[in-house]
């Protein structure tokens, strides 16, 4: 009896040690693969030259990751130690992690590993071809150089642009989505037909929609044509606009109309440019139907007896909407606003295709800037700087979603 207990005891110790080693080695392999090293054909020629390079340049990185790997390995080993004596528990744990293995491996390599790498190089100057150089917070500080040096204004301007983008697009797309949902939320025939037609802009690729809109926005395109027709009804002649190439800002236009002038050094007073607003319009066009689907689903979950009771009390449709539908939609509104914020802060496809950040940087976005810096499309490859920009953006997104959650949830409590 005593002997059996002993053998179980030694078995579980061995199992714990083995699982600790396996986890530790696995995490370190991920770290080595992700380690910031010099690239180039010479280094990448064989695993031997690559490992030599890792040893030369990435030991501090491996050290930091190693501490984390030790901790995770310890936690796992403790779990194994606990479940080992019971055969059923042991097999269940083995099966469960077997089921989870594809997800865990891919996520650890392509998400966690990649983020650690990005965090590390954001403190370095790194161009893939030479070893990373530690520069501390310089990349993060450089992002905000635009406040003092107007030639470095790109990142500041991209934040300024997405700020306008968010405060115009989010309220519009949310309210249009609710409006559409109210209109459609009734038993209708040919549901499938209407669904397909309504959601066509949001299910097709943003590349397709952007290309079609680029054609619409030509100086000789349909947008100018329809606007001129519309103004023609009132006898006003419309000067065709080069939509995607017009840097004039909204506030600038108003000030100019009133006889004032905003000099180009004060670009931050000009407001969103015509080109930028054209992209906003296109974006609302494609996202509003998607969000409408979500509102529609939520509306159909509302208990019909609420409306019946309200009808007995003599409430009008208008009242029903404000007093029943809207308050009950609050959680979905929160979700739509949060998703909208995350989406609008990460605009890329439209900018890459339609404007490349122009005219005069009025459609630059942080993600486009990250892409441009990392690919070296304008000047040298600056991976570290690009990574720092991406992290600043991530922090902004986290802050906004957190604030919105707090803000809107507090609003809900009032009901």
Partner 1 sequence: MAAIIQKLNLQKTADKTGKPVSYYIGLVIRYLVLFAIGLILFSPFILAFLGTFKTDAEIIAYPPKFLPLHWLWENWAKNWHTDIGRGGNFPRWLFNTAFLSVTVAGLEVIFCSLAAYAFARMKFPGRDLVFSFMLATMMIPGAVTLIPSYVLMSKLKLINSFFSLIIPGAVSAGGIFMLTQFFKSVPQELVEAAHMDGASHLQIYKDIILPLSRPALLTILILQFQGMWNSFLAPLLYLNSADKMVLNVALSIFQQTYKAQWNLTLVGAMFNAFPVLIIFFIFSKYYIEGISYTGVKG
Query: Interface residues for partner 1 in 61-100 (CB under 8 A)?
Result: 75-76, 79, 82-83, 89, 92-93, 95-97, 99-100
DSSP helix/strand/coil, 287: helix
Indicate whether 315 belongs to the interface with partner 1 (CB under 8 A).
no
Task: Kindly write out the interface string for residues 18-57 of this chain, putting x where it contacts partner 1 by CB under 8 A and - elsewhere.
Answer: ---------------xx-xx-x----x-----x-------
The least distance separating partner 1 from the CB of residue 139, rounded to whole angstroms, comes to 12
Q: What is the dihedral of CA 50, 53, 57, 59, to 10 degrees?
A: 70
Binders of partner 1 among residues 121 to 160 (CB under 8 A) are 121, 128
Nearer to partner 1, 51 or 250 (CB): 51
Task: Kindly write out the interface string for residues 246-285 of this chain, putting x where it contacts partner 1 by CB under 8 A and - elsewhere.
Answer: ---------------------------------------x
Compute the distance between CA of residue 21 and CA of residue 70 in angstroms, rounded to an integer: 9
The least distance separating partner 1 from the CB of residue 264, rounded to whole angstroms, comes to 29
The least distance separating partner 1 from the CB of residue 60, rounded to whole angstroms, comes to 17
The least distance separating partner 1 from the CB of residue 266, rounded to whole angstroms, comes to 29
| Contact yes or no for 339/318 (Cβ under 8 A) | no
Token pair in block for residue 413:
């409590």
Partners of 133 in the β-ladder: 125
Distances from the Cα of 291 to the Cα of 2, 149, 217, 288, 305, angstroms: 66, 41, 25, 5, 26
Indicate whether 366 belongs to the interface with partner 1 (CB under 8 A).
yes
Indicate whether 221 belongs to the interface with partner 1 (CB under 8 A).
yes
DSSP helix/strand/coil, 124: strand
Binders of partner 1 among residues 157 to 216 (CB under 8 A) are 180, 183-184, 186, 188, 192, 194-209, 211-216
Can you tell me which of 69, 244, 277, 383 binds partner 1, judged by CB under 8 A? 383
Nearer to partner 1, 103 or 234 (CB): 103
Nearer to partner 1, 33 or 251 (CB): 33
Please compute Rg for the chain using Cα positions.
Answer: 28
Nearer to partner 1, 66 or 343 (CB): 343
Distances from the Cα of 131 to the Cα of 61, 128, 308, 339, 376, angstroms: 13, 7, 71, 38, 17
Indicate whether 307 belongs to the interface with partner 1 (CB under 8 A).
no
Task: Give the DSSP per-residue string, 12-78.
Answer: HHHHHHHHHHHHHHHHHHHHHHH-----HHHHHTSHHHHHHHHHHH-HHHHHHHHHHHHHHHHHHHH
Binders of partner 1 among residues 322 to 361 (CB under 8 A) are 335-336, 339, 342, 345-346, 348-349, 352-353
On the CB side of 399, CA atoms within 13 Å amount to 7
| Contact yes or no for 160/276 (Cβ under 8 A) | no
Tell me the backbone φ, ψ of residue 134, rounded to 5 degrees.
-70, 125
Token pair in block for residue 306:
């609420």
Indicate whether 222 belongs to the interface with partner 1 (CB under 8 A).
yes
Compute the distance between CA of residue 171 and CA of residue 165 in angstroms, rounded to an integer: 10
The least distance separating partner 1 from the CB of residue 383, rounded to whole angstroms, comes to 6
Stretch touching partner 1 by CB under 8 A, among 148-156, 157-165, 364-372, 404-412: 364-372
Nearer to partner 1, 52 or 269 (CB): 52
DSSP helix/strand/coil, 125: strand
Token pair in block for residue 373:
């810096």
Can you tell me which of 293, 306, 315, 408 binds partner 1, judged by CB under 8 A? 293
**Span between the terminal Cα atoms of the chain, in Å:** 66
Nearer to partner 1, 11 or 266 (CB): 11
Nearer to partner 1, 112 or 310 (CB): 112
């Amino acid at each position: 009896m005593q002997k059996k207990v002993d053998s179980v005891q030694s078995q579980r110790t061995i199992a714990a040690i083995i699982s600790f080693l396996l986890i530790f080695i696995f995490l370190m392999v991920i770290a080595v693969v992700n380690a910031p090293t010099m690239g180039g054909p010479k280094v990448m020629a064989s695993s031997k030259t690559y490992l030599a390079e890792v040893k030369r340049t990435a030991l501090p990185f491996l050290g930091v990751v190693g501490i984390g790997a030790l901790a995770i390995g310890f936690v796992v080993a403790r779990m194994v130690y606990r479940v080992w004596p019971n055969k059923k528990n042991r097999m269940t744990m083995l099966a469960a992690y077997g089921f989870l293995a594809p997800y865990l491996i891919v996520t650890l390599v392509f998400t966690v590993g990649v983020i650690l790498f990005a965090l590390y190089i954001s403190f370095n100057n790194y161009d893939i071809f030479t070893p990373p150089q530690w520069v501390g917070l310089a990349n993060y500080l450089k992002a905000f150089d635009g406040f003092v040096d107007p030639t470095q204004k790109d990142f500041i301007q991209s934040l300024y642009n997405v700020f306008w983008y968010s405060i115009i697009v989010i309220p519009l797309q949310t309210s249009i989505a609710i409006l559409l949902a109210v209109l459609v939320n009734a038993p209708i025939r040919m549901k499938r037909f209407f669904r397909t037609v309504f959601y066509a802009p949001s299910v097709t690729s943003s590349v397709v929609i952007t290309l079609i809109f680029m054609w619409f926005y030509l100086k000789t395109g349909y947008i100018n044509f329809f606007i001129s027709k519309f103004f023609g009804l009132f006898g006003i002649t419309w000067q065709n606009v080069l939509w995607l190439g017009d840097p004039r800002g909204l506030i600038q236009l108003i000030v100019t109309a009133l006889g004032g002038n905003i000099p180009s050094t004060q670009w931050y007073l000009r407001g969103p440019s015509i080109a930028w607003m054209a992209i906003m319009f296109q974006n609302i066009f494609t996202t509003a139907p998607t969000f409408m689907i979500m509102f529609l689903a939520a509306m159909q979950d509302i208990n019909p007896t609420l409306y019946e009771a309200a009808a007995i009390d003599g409430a009008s449709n208008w009242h029903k909407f404000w007093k029943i539908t809207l308050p009950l939609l609050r959680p979905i509104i929160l979700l739509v606003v949060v998703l909208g914020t995350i989406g609008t802060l990460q605009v890329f496809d439209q900018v890459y295709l339609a404007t490349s950040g122009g005219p005069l940087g009025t459609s630059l976005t942080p993600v486009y800037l990250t892409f441009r810096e990392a690919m070296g499309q304008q000047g040298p490859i600056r991976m570290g700087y690009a990574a720092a920009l991406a992290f600043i953006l991530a922090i902004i997104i986290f802050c906004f979603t957190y604030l919105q959650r707090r803000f809107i949830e507090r609003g809900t409590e009032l009901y």
